[in-house]
Amino acid sequence: MLELYTHPMSPCAQKVRLALEEKALAWHAHQVDLAQKENLRPEYLRLNPKGVVPTLVHDGVPIIESSVICEYLEDAFPAMRLRPDGALEKAEMRLWMKHVDEKLHAAMASLQWTLLMRPVLLEKSPEQAEALIARVPDKARRERQTRLYHQGLDAPDVADGVHVYDHTVQDMERALADREWLAGGSYSLADLAVLPYFQTLMQFGWQAFYEHRPRVCAWLQRSLARPAYDKGIRSGLDPALLSRLEGRGAEAWPRLQTLLAA
């Protein structure tokens, strides 16, 4: 039995949901309310000591870290393959996954957390908000959330995130010059690792990051047309929330545009 502790707006969780759907696996979802910090409750920390989503539980055994989970699913359920055949293509796939884990995720987190999670914390007293952030186990993530909570879009993490996104799109445009997918001729873990971070851009109305890159736009349309996207991402999104996020994205865009031009 496959169980996934997830949140609809988490790109890491979206990545794993895409892998599950691409492989046509049956799984059960446990929704974790990140805004209310359910991920920091003791019962969840026993499953995932880092206090993040997703967590996959397979036959009672928890597996954490979204990229590790995706590779685990590839090894445990190889019938529908999401790794390329060639050694070079496998290396390219893992380089994209490494970029997501080390660069793009933090970039997205700075932008999305500021517009999605910060408003929830601002409704609480400063003492309550800071107490919740203080419970985040990872020091770097805790310090980043503290800066974003106090400084919002003026936090240095936001400027860094804007430029990481811009450089990522440039690198993708070059990589897609002679191929349809990021790691060769077939859709792979590289593509499903990157796609959720474009979902973030779309839901805030920030297509300006990539709309002038024709190869990236074509890659995105191919990715969105796959049935796994509808099942793994789109079907779980709340239209009312998306409407609010688009409004917040429009309000934030002038600041991001200034940072992008800097």
Q: Where are the domains of the chain?
A: 2-76, 87-261
**DSSP letter (8 states) at residue 101:** I
Alpha helices in the chain (DSSP H): 11-22, 42-47, 66-76, 87-99, 105-116, 118-122, 126-134, 139-151, 156-175, 189-203, 214-224, 227-232, 239-261
pLDDT at 175: 97
CB 85 within 8 A of CB 31: no
- Helix 189-203 to helix 87-99 angle, to the nearest 10 degrees? 30
pLDDT of 126 > 90? The answer is yes
CATH 1.20.1050.10 matches 87-261 = yes
Confirm whether 2-76 and 87-261 share one CATH topology.
Answer: no
> Longest C-alpha distance within the chain, in Å?
54
Q: pLDDT tens, 16-32?
A: 999 999 999 999 999 99
* Alpha-helical regions (H) of 124-238: 126-134, 139-151, 156-175, 189-203, 214-224, 227-232
- Per-residue pLDDT at 190: 98
Give Cβ neighbours of residue 9 (< 8 Å, ≥ 6 apart): 34, 112, 116, 237, 241
Q: What pTM was estimated for this model as a whole? A: 0.94
For residues 79 and 170, give the distance between their C-alpha atoms in angstroms, rounded to a whole number.
34
pLDDT digits 0-9 by tens, 174-227:
999 999 999 999 999 999 999 999 999 999 999 999 999 999 999 999 999 999
2-76 CATH choice from 3.30.70.260, 3.40.50.300, 3.40.47.10, 3.40.30.10: 3.40.30.10
Q: What is the pLDDT of residue 262?
A: 85
Region 124-153: mean pLDDT is: 94
- The answer to whether the CB of 114 falls within 8 A of the CB of 106 is no
Vertex 129: Cα angle to 202 and 111 (nearest 5): 20
